[in-house]
């Protein structure tokens, strides 16, 4: 324990929505305002004490509906002083951990003492785009594009297809992926019933023209399922294995963490939730999306000299079951028993398949979930990793 350590002192998220949700009407910047205010309110930090706000957001179509400078807009709407430095980051699903990593860099180089890092997206609110309306179409049909599904041929292939193919190449079958999806739903349901998401959640209150506001205070997407029900689903996006049941739903949600040095936390009388031991980003062959969390984790291990056996708890984002399973398998380096051990401590309260994946909010979510759970246990090491479109990755190691 060192005064220069970077610690997380607060973490909060909104519930994550399903596709058909009242949250589809709430701009992602407004979801982010909720968590930005709450992450400091909980620990008594004042807006004027925050030096930097790093904000992940990777659904530019949705952001465009409200202006297109999201981090700056959120800081102003949340009542922070105009001097607050802010930056919007798009590193796909990795974005909110990239935001943490940039916060660490700012603190390390003396540009900031206190940083809020987070992210939000509202996938159900992403509008369709009509590209040619500004210039006009002389002949033929006017085409409407759904940017949620735009990453594909001719220049790229859908992430679900790449993830499924690389999983199969690694010996991770459709049946294994469905079994992981059942596990995710069951573990989430158990953990939610035990109240294990309570500390990290703040409700979203949506005023209505008439009557009471709609209050969303829990994740909306979890559902009961079974191997039989999952086996009946057809693969999506041309994937050999990925279905609506072993993929996360399209969600809205926001999350944020507050970071500073241990010295600063002491000065302010704040108890750290967790110490950040390492935070790394990386990228690899865009096709090998299912492998990138393992690749990022290995980079974090190399940096720290640590290994997977030292980790008490692991969160690998369920971009698809294919990703979490392939990456845990790679971490086991061909040892079947070790693979089982690693899986047993991974996503122990379920993951994105159950609770949703509002892409830019997910990395900060898994980070705060590690911190809160290790706090409950009285300490330990937590490892988080996430993949982002076309094989970007982030990993973080926490100590409590
Ligand atoms: C896969 C996807 C297209 C499905 O969207 P959708 O069609 O709106 O999803 P639905 O919830 O309606 O599910 C489709 C069907 O599967 C069924 N289903 C979904 N999850 C199920 C489960 N866990 N168990 C049983 N059936 C399930 C639904 O009941 C529905 O059946 P129906 O057609 O008979 O009504 C969408 O969720 C998606 O794109 N997810 C991936 C998001 C993504 O790529 N994120 C980024 C990762 S990097």
Per-residue model confidence (pLDDT) at position 64 = 97
- The model's confidence at residue 150, banded by pLDDT at 50, 70 and 90, is confident
- The model's confidence at residue 96, banded by pLDDT at 50, 70 and 90, is very high
Average pLDDT (371-377) is 98
pLDDT tens across 157-179, in order?
999 999 999 999 999 999 999 99
Residue 83 CB coordination number (10 Å):
8
Per-residue model confidence (pLDDT) at position 221 = 98
> What ligand 1 atom has the least distance to the C-alpha of 236?
1
- The model's confidence at residue 34, banded by pLDDT at 50, 70 and 90, is very high
CA of 370 to the centre of ligand 1 (A): 27
Q: Is the pLDDT of residue 349 over 90?
A: yes
CA of 321 to the centre of ligand 1 (A): 13
pLDDT tens across 70-95, in order?
999 999 999 999 999 999 999 999 99
**Mean pLDDT of the chain, nearest integer:** 97
- The model's confidence at residue 332, banded by pLDDT at 50, 70 and 90, is very high
Per-residue model confidence (pLDDT) at position 63 = 97
Per-residue model confidence (pLDDT) at position 120 = 98
Nearest residue (CA) to ligand 1, atom 44:
160
CA of 396 to the centre of ligand 1 (A): 29
Give the DSSP letter of residue 243: -
Per-residue model confidence (pLDDT) at position 341 = 98
Average pLDDT (115-129) is 98
> What ligand 1 atom has the least distance to the C-alpha of 158?
44
> What does pTM read for this prediction?
0.97
Bridging pattern class, strands 85-89 and 52-56: parallel
- The model's confidence at residue 195, banded by pLDDT at 50, 70 and 90, is very high
CA of 124 to the centre of ligand 1 (A): 13
Per-residue model confidence (pLDDT) at position 132 = 87
CA of 236 to the centre of ligand 1 (A): 9
Nearest residue (CA) to ligand 1, atom 48:
319
Task: Indicate the top mutation candidate among 244, 320, 391 to test ligand 1's pocket, ranked by most ligand atoms within 8 A of CB.
Answer: 244
Per-residue model confidence (pLDDT) at position 94 = 98
Q: Name the residue among 64, 292, 68, 1 with its Cα closest to residue 300.
A: 292
Nearest residue (CA) to ligand 1, atom 30:
244
Residue ranges in 78-215 assigned as alpha helix (H): 95-108, 159-169, 174-193
Nearest residue (CA) to ligand 1, atom 3:
244
Per-residue model confidence (pLDDT) at position 1 = 86
Q: 6-127+247-399: which CATH topology?
A: Peroxisomal Thiolase; Chain A, domain 1 (3.40.47)
- The alpha carbon of residue 383 and the mean position of all alpha carbons in its chain are separated, in whole angstroms, by 14
Residues with catalytic annotation?
Answer: 93, 357, 387
Per-residue model confidence (pLDDT) at position 243 = 98
Bridging pattern class, strands 204-206 and 115-122: unpaired
Pocket of ligand 1 (CB under 6 A): 19, 93, 159-160, 223, 225, 229-230, 233, 236, 244-245, 247-250, 319, 357, 359
Residue 128 CB coordination number (10 Å):
10
Residue 98 vs residues 4, 29, 95, 269, 362: alpha-carbon distances, Å:
20, 18, 5, 27, 12
- The model's confidence at residue 224, banded by pLDDT at 50, 70 and 90, is very high
Q: Report the first-to-last Cα separation within the chain, whole angstroms.
A: 10
Strand partners, 275: 7, 399
Per-residue model confidence (pLDDT) at position 77 = 98
Per-residue model confidence (pLDDT) at position 228 = 98
**Percent of residues, the chain, with pLDDT higher than 70:** 100
pLDDT tens across 263-307, in order?
999 999 999 999 999 999 999 999 999 999 999 999 999 999 999
Burial of 271 (0-12, 13-18, 19+ CB in 10 A): exposed
Planar angle of CA 217, 177, 353, nearest 5 degrees: 10
Per-residue model confidence (pLDDT) at position 211 = 96
> What ligand 1 atom has the least distance to the C-alpha of 387?
48
Nearest residue (CA) to ligand 1, atom 32:
233
Residue ranges in 204-331 assigned as alpha helix (H): 227-231, 262-267, 292-304, 321-331
Per-residue model confidence (pLDDT) at position 191 = 98
Nearest residue (CA) to ligand 1, atom 40:
249
Per-residue model confidence (pLDDT) at position 149 = 87
Q: Is the pLDDT of residue 148 over 90?
A: yes
CA of 29 to the centre of ligand 1 (A): 26
Q: Is 105 helix (H, G, I), strand (E, B) or coil?
A: helix
- The model's confidence at residue 186, banded by pLDDT at 50, 70 and 90, is very high
CA of 148 to the centre of ligand 1 (A): 14
Per-residue model confidence (pLDDT) at position 260 = 98
Nearest residue (CA) to ligand 1, atom 2:
244
pLDDT tens across 1-28, in order?
899 999 999 999 999 999 999 999 999 9
> What ligand 1 atom has the least distance to the C-alpha of 237?
3
> What ligand 1 atom has the least distance to the C-alpha of 320?
47
> What ligand 1 atom has the least distance to the C-alpha of 160?
44
């Amino acid at each position: 324990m060192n005064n220069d350590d970077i610690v997380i002192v607060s973490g909060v998220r909104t519930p994550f929505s399903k596709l058909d949700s009242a949250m589809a009407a709430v701009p992602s910047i407004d979801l982010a305002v909720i968590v930005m205010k709450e992450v400091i309110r909980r620990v008594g930090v004042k807006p004027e004490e925050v030096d930097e706000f790093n904000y992940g957001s990777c659904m530019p179509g949705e952001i465009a509906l409200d202006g297109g400078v999201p981090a700056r807009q959120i800081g102003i709407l949340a009542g922070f002083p105009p001097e607050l430095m802010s930056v919007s980051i798009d590193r796909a699903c990795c974005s909110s951990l990239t935001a943490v990593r940039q916060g660490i860099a700012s603190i390390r180089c003396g540009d900031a003492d206190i940083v809020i890092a987070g992210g939000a997206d509202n996938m159900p609110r992403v509008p369709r785009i009509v590209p040619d309306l500004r210039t006009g179409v002389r002949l033929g049909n006017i085409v409407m594009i759904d940017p949620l599904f735009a990453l594909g041929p001719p220049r790229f292939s859908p992430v679900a297809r790449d993830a499924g193919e690389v999983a199969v190449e690694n010996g991770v079958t459709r049946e294994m992926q469905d079994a992981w999806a059942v596990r995710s739903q069951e573990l989430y349901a158990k953990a939610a019933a035990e109240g294990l998401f309570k500390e990290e959640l703040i409700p979203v209150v949506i005023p209505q023209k008439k009557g009471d506001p709609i209050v969303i205070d829990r994740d909306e997407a979890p559902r009961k399922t079974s191997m039989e029900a999952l086996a009946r689903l057809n693969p999506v996006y041309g994937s050999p294995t990925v279905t609506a049941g072993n993929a996360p739903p399209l969600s809205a949600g926001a999350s944020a963490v507050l970071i500073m040095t241990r010295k600063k936390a002491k000065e302010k009388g704040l108890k750290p939730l967790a110490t950040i031991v390492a935070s790394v980003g990386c990228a690899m062959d865009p096709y090998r999306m299912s492998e990138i969390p393992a690749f990022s984790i290995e980079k974090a291990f190399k940096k720290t000299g640590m290994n997977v056996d030292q980790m008490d708890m692991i969160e690998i984002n369920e971009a698809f079951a294919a990703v979490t399973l392939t990456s845990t398998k790679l971490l086991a380096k061909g040892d079947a028993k070790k693979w089982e051990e690693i899986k047993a401590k991974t996503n122990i309260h379920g993951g994105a398949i159950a609770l949703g994946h509002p892409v830019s909010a997910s990395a900060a979510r898994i980070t705060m979930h590690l911190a809160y759970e290790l706090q409950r246990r009285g300490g330990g090491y937590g490892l988080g990793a996430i993949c982002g479109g076309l094989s970007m990755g982030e990993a973080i190691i926490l100590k409590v």
